[in-house]
Chains A and B, each alone.
Chain A
């Protein structure tokens, strides 16, 4: 397996292929600033929940060196991620909209993000990755190397898959989140 790229995002900064990616913001604003700076022109970003925004920005920056080739539909590319908190942040937000009987206005736009695997779907839709799209909820105990190794082994058991975005994407709140994504070729 060959590692073609790696990105790490925390509330305090971004590191792309071991280089600091310039950002002037921190926390949730960092993700919006990255969206602006990478010129993604994808207004749906603003409708996404924080977990999806994190995964989306990580994949955008990771794949930006792939030029237009990345948007060619292919069934041999997969998105396989893992998370500890999953969509818990959005679950809580949604629950708050239906908590009070006299103020019961469940939001459809929030509800659609109450599934943790939406983030892999958003990345797959954006980049026309038609292969496997999976999100595993795991305990936060594995090392980065162990996690990537396990996910890569699982992913490449499928003989069709030749490359994949693999890694970790986790959002607790604006001060506590991280993404570690690899672009891996079989």
Chain B
């Protein structure tokens, strides 16, 4: 799981162009949205695309993202359980 968490952090930094953020800056339990990283609604859509592209997970309802992207830990757990690639 640690490896997946690190991979997710690196992918998030890359796809969201978080230029001045390192994986170590992202707290595993901190909210991804609303504070901290300062992500917005377009970032949420980008993460949904990333989930499908990298892990074969299709989120048909964008509202699902609200729960899944709660934190890196929650996201990693979801990916671990639902990934098809």
The judgment on whether A and B are partners is: yes
Give the interface of A toward B (CB within 8 A).
43, 46-47, 105-109, 112
Would A109 and B53 be within 8 Å (CB), given that A43-B20, A43-B38, A47-B17 are in contact? Answer: no
Chain B residues with CB under 8 A of A106 = 49
A43 to B18, Cβ gap below 8 A?
A: yes
Task: Say whether chain B's binding surface is mostly helix, strand, loop, or mixed.
Answer: helix
Chain A nearest CB, measured from B33 CB (Å): 15
10 closest cross-chain pairs (CB), A and B: A108-B45, A46-B19, A46-B17, A105-B53, A109-B46, A47-B17, A108-B42, A108-B46, A105-B49, A109-B42
Chain A nearest CB, measured from B82 CB (Å): 18
Chain B residues with CB under 8 A of A43 = 18-20, 38
B30 close to chain A: CB less than 8 A: no
Chain A residues with CB under 8 A of B17 = 46-47, 109
Query: CA–CA, A46 to B38, complex, Å?
Result: 13
Chain B residues with CB under 8 A of A47 = 16-17
Query: CA–CA, A27 to B1, complex, Å?
Result: 41
Query: CA–CA, A28 to B17, complex, Å?
Result: 15
Q: Identify which of B19, B38, B49 contacts A107 (C-beta below 8 A).
A: B49
B27 close to chain A: CB less than 8 A: no
Q: In the complex, what residue of chain B is closest to A47 when comparing beta carbons?
A: B17
Q: Render B14-46 as a binary contact track against A, CB cut-off 8 A, 1 for contact.
A: 011111100000000000000000100011011
15 pairs from A and B in contact (CB 8 Å cutoff): A43-B19, A43-B38, A46-B20, A47-B16, A47-B17, A105-B49, A105-B52, A105-B53, A107-B46, A107-B49, A108-B46, A108-B49, A109-B15, A109-B43, A112-B42
Chain B residues with CB under 8 A of A109 = 15-17, 42-43, 45-46
Chain A nearest CB, measured from B26 CB (Å): 14
Chain A residues with CB under 8 A of B53 = 105
Chain A residues with CB under 8 A of B19 = 43, 46
Query: CA–CA, A47 to B45, complex, Å?
Result: 14
Would A46 and B46 be within 8 Å (CB), given that A105-B52, A105-B53 are in contact? Answer: no
Of B15, B18, B38, B46, most A-chain CB atoms within 10 Å = B46
